[in-house]
Amino acid sequence: MRPSLELARSAGFCYGVRRAVHMAESASQSGRPCVMLGSIIHNQSVIEYLEAQGVALIRSPEEAPPGADVIIRSHGEGRTVYEALRLRGCPMIDATCPNVSRIHQIVSDAEVAGRQVVIIGMPDHPEVAAIAGWCRHPAVLANARELENWLLQEPERREKPVTMVSQTTSTRQLWDSCVEKAKKLCTNSKIFDTICNATCKRQSEAQEIAARCEAMIVIGGRESSNTKRLVELCEALCPQVVWIERAAELEPSTLCRKASIGITAGASTPEWIIKEVYDKMSDEIMEIEESFAELLEKSIKTLNTGEKVTGVVTGITPTEIYVDLGTKHAGYIPVSELTDDPTVKVEDLVHVGDEIETYVMRVNDQEGVVTLSKKRLDTVKSWDDIEQAKEEHTTVEGVVTEENKGGVVVSIKGVRVFVPASQTGLPRDAAMSELLKQKVRLRITEVNRARRRVVGSIRAVAAEERAAKAAEVWANIEEGKRYNGTVKSLTSYGAFVDIGGVDGMVHISELSWSRIKHPSEVVSVGDPVEVYVISFDPEKKKISLGMKDHSQDPWSVFTGKYNVGDTANVKVVKLMTFGAFAEIVPGVDGLIHISQIADHRIDKPGDVLSEGQMVDVKITDIDFDHKKVSLSIRALLEDAQRTQSSEDEGDAVVASADGDGTQVAEDFQD
């Protein structure tokens, strides 16, 4: 039985490594002297190949020949290296992986903000050393145990603001354990997950293959950190793991009795080495189901302007999105070419690891870069969708991007749609600017692709939706039913409320238990309100609504709180010729007759009282049958006078008693 062979799709160069190697190849063909500062990737075969192309290897900036271009390796370098090369006047070709450059920016910003930088990674790894070179006093820790020990050594460290990043090739398990420890022990931490998505994908796929295969072949340099981790992960799941750098190290006969063999490779392993290993295994023990040559051809295929291509998002920055197209070219999408919608955030549209279909705008073979556009591809598709929407009378959605003479412009997936002012649905005197940056639904009324002209109507959709809602309201309306509505307008006699496509009126008397002069004292246009149906007439399309809570009967509230003879602080709400009405509790008024306003004769209530005034009164009578209350200010004044008279008489009695007592004492002495 011939063993099956499974090659990991993620094996080999990642985006950052492929970019670095291509930049070095381009530099070697430029005609200018160039050197690489340290091995640009961890693969000796690639380094030897580049040296054969004339790219010499140096170990320090001081070794750089005057005037020679210096290639910064994919692992990056610290700030001092860049400064040293500038002082020597050496032009730099920065091949630092974009994911690593992002970490440099994070730790640099953290230092400026006064935060302590913590780097989770191998201290002697060049990538980690470079990251540490962008801040003054970083803590470089290998795992969660070291992180815990470092935090507990000096208690004040737990109180300091900490920014934590990871080596891009760390394992997810190691990083998650560090994150858990940091969240538990630090009081002020900012944690950035900087593990490369390609690394995670490669490790995850290697584990999946190792779990189902009897043997694994891991290809990669002995100095490669990510290859070493692949070996460790595979050894935990597979009984036999072989780590090789080149096909010459492989002895297929040791694997021929295995029923299934998996192959993976580190990020610094070029395709041609993987092909060597794959071909050797093929020649010795198996037939290849899919020619590796075909896979390799896909990776080196050429691209043309105007072509539609599919790739995987490998990195996101504030200005561009990096896309791995599976070719020697490094693809990127400028943020301006991602979408026309100004309200959308980049992180809401794309994520690292997403597969994305794009349009090739420009190919720069010299630099190995392809400029891509998601927006232009979407625009082509959008025109088809717009024409279909016009034919099928369907509703589309877009964002208002500008105010135009006579209307507004709506962007629908990159297509500009003009909406005349009369079709915006706004009142005649409203400003078109109210719609700017708003999402709207509209109907396409005219399409002329040749002239790139599209006309739409927001009003048509709004009218249809309102009509449908109105029909639903009338079909289900009944007395007492409650609705959540919105106040649409106010009049002197009430408020009109939209209960979902239909307006009903709340009479001023139904707005509040309190006596009010105008609805604006209770509600404003635009307020959300809860109302209930008092009555309705389907033929005349009229609905009478109420807002007052009838479960709280004001008369019951009043009688539960006051009795005849009680004193109350009331509000004068209306003056009449015969007296004044005063609100005792919301919804219950009492009458202060003109004869009960003062303890002397007055011509009219307005001589003593004014509307809105708060006064103390005595409740002199309650007519429970007719729910009427009589109030008196005069009674309170007379009560006060009687009380004062009683106190004065008491004082006089005491004074008289004191005089008599003195006289008796004098008589007794005589």
For the annotated catalytic residues, the residue numbers are 127
Q: How far apart are CA 435 and CA 420, in angstroms?
A: 13
Helices (H), 335-477: 346-349, 374-392, 458-476
Q: Which positions ≥6 away from 54 have C-beta within 8 Å?
A: 28, 34
Cα separations in angstroms, 43 against 48, 71, 196, 225, 379? 9, 16, 19, 11, 43
Closest of 236, 233, 246, 237 to residue 199, by C-alpha? 233
Q: Is 230 exposed, middle or buried (0-12, 13-18, 19+ CB in 10 A)?
A: buried
Q: 3-state DSSP call for residue 360?
A: strand
- Residue listed under structure tokens 């370098």: 77
Contacts of 452 (CB under 8 A, 6+ apart): 416
Q: Which residues contact 535 (CB under 8 A, 6 or more apart)?
A: 479, 543, 544
Structure tokens at 140: 């470089």
CB 41 within 8 A of CB 268: yes
Residue pair 604/577 in contact (Cβ under 8 Å)? The answer is yes
**Pick from 167, 166, 230: which is nearest to 204 by CA?**
230
For residue 312, with 0-12 CB atoms within 10 Å meaning exposed, 13-18 middle and 19 or more buried, which class applies? buried
Beta-bridge partners for 532: 482, 546
Closest CA to 181 of 141, 151, 138, 144: 144
Structure tokens, 489:
């307008």
Cα 267 to Cα 7: distance, rounded to the nearest angstrom? 14
397's CB contacts (< 8 A; 6+ apart) are: 412, 439, 440, 441, 442
Measured between alpha carbons, how far is 607 from 190 in angstroms, rounded to an integer?
71
Q: What phi and psi values does residue 484 have, to the nearest 5 degrees?
A: -95, 120
Q: Degrees (nearest 5) of the Cα angle 13, 17, 23?
A: 125
